[in-house]
Amino acid sequence: MTVFGIHAGVKPHFPIMLFALFLCMFGTHAADPIEIWPQWRGPQRTGLAPGGAWPDRLDGVRQLWRVELDKGYSGAIVSTDSVFVFETAGGDTELVRALDRRAGKELWRASWPGKLSVPFYAKRNGDWVRSTPAFHGDTLYVGGMEEVLVALDAKTGKERWRVDFPKRYQTPKPDFGFASSPMVDGAHVYVQAANSIVKLDAKTGATIWRKLEHGDGVMESGAFSSPVLAKIAGKRQLLVQTRTHLHGLNPENGADLWAHIVPNFRGMNILTPVVHGDSIFTSTYQNDSYLFQVSANGTGGFEVKELWRNKAKGYMSTPVIHGGMAYLHLANQRFTCIDLKTGETRWTSTPFGRYWSMALRGDKILALDESGTAHLVRTNAERFELLDSKELTKSEAWGHVAIAGNELFIRELTAITAHRWHGGLAAEATK
């Protein structure tokens, strides 16, 4: 949350098929997915960063430019030519900027009034924006703290529409602000807002459906986790993790196909659930890690059951999956590897930071901790294999790292920095 390779032997037509698939996913204006980072956790919303293989060292990563901003936890969004950043300016204004990707020069800015005071026990994390925007085609969708979603023309910053969810549905503003990140799928936007999940028309903001309405108490209002789409048990499903439950919905009409409680402490279901085959992995603060399996029941419906639980306690960092292993950063600041088949912990590291945002390319994980230090880790089911670490910024960096081709974009608390990985990358990432 923002709470705070094609291998040898592949047939030549495969890249064309892959590109066609992305056209279907992102529209006729789709860019090469290797070169963009359009939403929370990347092109496929899985933490995968497509492109050429990374070297085993970080010494080739060098800063290109840096732009001072006001405070915010939102991750950067990257198109082929622009970088979009979101911030809380002066404590009472929400501001979006578009920056030139090559040099960091400001192209446009858009702003609107917006402020929200989080509960006293969360004050040290600030009152500034948390939700990471989503970019699709020619539009940027931005969710502010007061649970207002604004659609902006990505070339000019001109407002196209806005939805004030508390006003539309007569619901209170969420206690912790709009922390869940919107997701665009074709002609629609999915948003966890108004104590529910809402499907909107991406061109107009009109409501298509609203489901999973729940209470507005401090332990259940709003959402931290973000929705994802995946094919599970033979059917395309919308996965929604509320503060208490995990749901699989029919994205067409919002019908609840199945649901399972996720044990939690004060509704702290923060990370985004990760799909592995027909199973979903999640982990919660001060509770355990879980693998839930979804299966068709033979009568048109679905069943869900807990396959295993592990005492590893996650928190804010969404894991990545490789080779049947989940790589998860824990609330105790350690990093762990869990076998998704058995639920066994394969290893756990010494402490590394309070928060990691992670991206996966090939067999390597690039993780950015909240101090601005990047860690390069090789996926290895037998032992923790840290290849290299390098400080990329000297200030806090809670926004999710964005990776596009051979470039990295780090949203510091009060700045955005662009970095380029020089030398050693395969041609796909250095064109």
Please check the confidence at residue 19 and state whether its pLDDT lies above 80: no
Please check the confidence at residue 21 and state whether its pLDDT lies above 50: no
Please check the confidence at residue 14 and state whether its pLDDT lies above 70: no
CA dihedral 356, 360, 364, 366 (to 10 degrees): -30
Q: What are phi and psi of 81, to 5 degrees?
A: -130, -5
Please check the confidence at residue 7 and state whether its pLDDT lies above 90: no
- The lowest-confidence range among 16-30, 207-221, 393-407 is 16-30
Please check the confidence at residue 66 and state whether its pLDDT lies above 60: yes
The model's pTM: 0.91
pLDDT for 125-138, tens place per residue?
A: 899 999 999 999 99
Please check the confidence at residue 108 and state whether its pLDDT lies above 60: yes
Cα–Cα distance list, 424 to 23, 53, 199, 312 (Å):
29, 8, 43, 36
Query: What's the pLDDT band for 16 if we cut at 50, 70, 90?
Result: very low
How close are the terminal C-alpha atoms of the chain, in Å? 31
Q: What are phi and psi of 260, to 5 degrees?
A: -150, 135
What would the two tokens of residue 254 be? 């919002």
d(CA 124, CA 129): 14
Segment 397-406 shows an average pLDDT of: 96
Task: Check: CB of residue 140 under 8 Å from CB of residue 86.
Answer: no
pLDDT of residue 297: 94
Segment 78-84 shows an average pLDDT of: 97
pLDDT of residue 32: 79
What would the two tokens of residue 398 be? 């809670």
- DSSP strand pairing (385-391 vs 188-193): unpaired
d(CA 161, CA 337): 43
Residue 165's SS3 state is: helix
Residues with Cβ within 8 Å of residue 139, at least 6 apart in sequence: 151, 152, 153, 154, 160, 202
Segment 56-83 shows an average pLDDT of: 97
What percentage of the chain reaches a pLDDT higher than 90? 86
Spell 294-317 as b/e; 16+ CB within 10 A means b: beeeeeeebebeeebebebbbbbb
pLDDT of residue 134: 98
pLDDT of residue 424: 60
pLDDT for 337-392, tens place per residue?
A: 999 999 999 999 999 999 999 999 999 999 999 999 999 999 999 999 999 999 99
pLDDT of residue 47: 97
Residues with Cβ within 8 Å of residue 5, at least 6 apart in sequence: 50, 51, 52, 53, 361, 362, 426, 428
Which has the closest alpha carbon to 358: 339, 343, 377?
377
d(CA 420, CA 429): 11
Query: What's the pLDDT band for 419 if we cut at 50, 70, 90?
Result: very high
pLDDT of residue 125: 86
pLDDT of residue 426: 55
pLDDT of residue 358: 98
pLDDT of residue 10: 35
Cα–Cα distance list, 63 to 109, 152, 388 (Å):
24, 29, 17
pLDDT for 261-316, tens place per residue?
A: 999 999 999 999 999 999 999 999 999 999 999 999 989 899 999 999 999 999 99
